[in-house]
Amino acid sequence: MPGKRTEFLYLSEPDVIEAGVLDVKRCVDVAEETFVLLSEGDYLMGGPNHNSHGMGIIFPKETKFPNMPVAGPDRRFFAMPAYLGGRYDVCGVKWYGSNHANMAKGLPRSVLTVQLNDKDTGEPLCLMSANLLSAARTGAVPGVATRYLVRKDATTVSAIGCGPIGRACLQAIHSQAPWLKKLSCIALHEESAGAFAGWAEKELGIEAVAARSHEECVRAGDVISVAASRAKPLLLDSAWLRRGATVLFSGPASADDAFWTGGRIVYDHIGLHESYVEEAIASGNKAGYYAGVIGGPIYTLIDAGKIPPLASSAGLGDIVRGKAPGRANDGEIILFISCGMPVFDVSFGYDLWQNALKKNLGTRLLLWDKPHMVK
């Protein structure tokens, strides 16, 4: 049997922009479709339970090897593989390296790519720049939550974290709730919050101010987007929350117990959070592991019996499918926890690949004319 020629498509960042990566509403639609497949079970992620976020290289604090990297803020490598069914029916992986020091070099904190592969042969189908893709899909998840969980009479939104992820989250939230008219925002640096407010006024047509404190920011919001980085610990207080607030977590935060126990918690996908707990137990340092993930404070309270177990809680996909209730009333406080899953990189990446094929975008790259070894 003669060897099979294999090519794949390479998409640069300008290519994925032309393919539609900045189409916020489309990305939210794709994310909602992905939530349905998660709820139905038509997916696979890494790990023995098929629900792992991914596998990472976390650098040691010290090393005897002169060239081995050591730990630093946001410094890691991560591979996030997944299969997604439905109309996608494809395998893929997001691979990235992250280092907070990148920004001093004129680079984003993380540098990301997504690769799609044929589910049967393993052949690469498309390799694409994924910084914009990853930000878009991260924002799209709270965008879907906004569709189902935010009060229709909400008028104000607060943003904690004013980086690219915070911007993507606010774009997606506002795309689903354009009736939100006022924004309060806060960042590690005052100038970043001011720039974010200016951008929001210009791009979203929303009245925006930079808050002077986290308390001021949270108290101002009917909808609160938490997309702060891990560079500095974030501590929230239950007394700051408005009646009927929806808090959308796309980044880590700590809070008093009443913050978590006083509202209803909705998870992006129960299986993912169960996987985190399993991995925490296997690590031998459960508390340390919990400290490194967005849902960590909640898992601690579940272990203490203060919050209902994961198995009896709702995932957003079940709410989208009508298998679990959405918001019960206008006074209910809802906390939505999103930790990031590669199925969303695969679904939106697939859409971008298909758009690129239709528009004749990208560069065809040769893997081989015929493989040197077949057997």
**154 in a domain, yes or no?**
yes
**374 in a domain, yes or no?**
no
User: What does each C-alpha distance from 91 to 83, 252, 345 come to in angstroms?
Assistant: 4, 29, 11
**375 in a domain, yes or no?**
no
Are 81 and 92 in contact by the 8 Å Cβ rule? The answer is: yes
User: What does each C-alpha distance from 325 to 35, 314, 363 come to in angstroms?
Assistant: 15, 8, 46
* Identity of residue 28: V
Mean pLDDT value across residues 132-144: 98
Q: Token match 């117990």: residue?
A: 257
According to DSSP, the residues that pair with 265 across neighbouring strands are: 335
Question: Predicted confidence band at 292 (pLDDT cuts at 50, 70, 90)?
Answer: confident
Same domain, 353 and 337: no
Query: Given a cut of 60, is residue 1 above it in pLDDT?
Result: no
**282 in a domain, yes or no?**
yes
Same domain, 40 and 109: yes
Q: How many domains is the chain built from? A: 2
Query: Given a cut of 60, is residue 113 above it in pLDDT?
Result: yes
Return the closest-CA partner of residue 208 out of 199, 216, 24. Answer: 199
Give percent above pLDDT 70 in the chain. Answer: 99
Which positions ≥6 away from 152 have C-beta within 8 Å? Answer: 179
pLDDT of residue 277: 96
Same domain, 93 and 53: yes
Are 328 and 151 in contact by the 8 Å Cβ rule? The answer is: no
Same domain, 202 and 80: no
* Identity of residue 81: P
Same domain, 73 and 99: yes
pLDDT of residue 229: 78
pLDDT of residue 2: 65
**309 in a domain, yes or no?**
yes
CB atoms within 10 A of CB 73: 13
Q: Rg of the chain's alpha carbons, rounded to an integer?
A: 21
Continuous H helices in 22-163:
24-40, 131-149
Same domain, 201 and 333: yes
* Identity of residue 62: E
**1 in a domain, yes or no?**
no
Give percent above pLDDT 90 in the chain. Answer: 94
Same domain, 149 and 122: no
Same domain, 154 and 55: no
Strand ranges (DSSP E) for the chain?
Answer: 6-11, 43-45, 55-58, 76-84, 90-98, 110-117, 124-129, 156-160, 182-186, 207-210, 223-226, 235-236, 246-249, 254-255, 264-267, 314-315, 334-337, 363-368
Mean pLDDT value across residues 244-266: 96
Query: Given a cut of 90, is residue 53 above it in pLDDT?
Result: yes
37: domain range?
6-134+343-368
Same domain, 167 and 316: yes
Mean pLDDT value across residues 248-258: 96
CATH of the domain at 220: 3.40.50.720
Q: How far apart are CA 201 and CA 181, in angstroms?
A: 10
Q: How far apart are CA 22 and CA 135, in angstroms?
A: 10
**314 in a domain, yes or no?**
yes
CATH of the domain at 98: 3.30.1780.10
On whether the pTM is more than 0.75, the answer is yes
Same domain, 128 and 230: no
pLDDT digits (tens, 9 = 90+) for 308-329: 999 999 999 999 999 999 999 9
Same domain, 238 and 309: yes
Are 210 and 195 in contact by the 8 Å Cβ rule? The answer is: no
**272 in a domain, yes or no?**
yes
Mean pLDDT value across residues 212-240: 93
pLDDT digits (tens, 9 = 90+) for 326-349: 999 999 999 999 999 999 999 999
Same domain, 43 and 79: yes
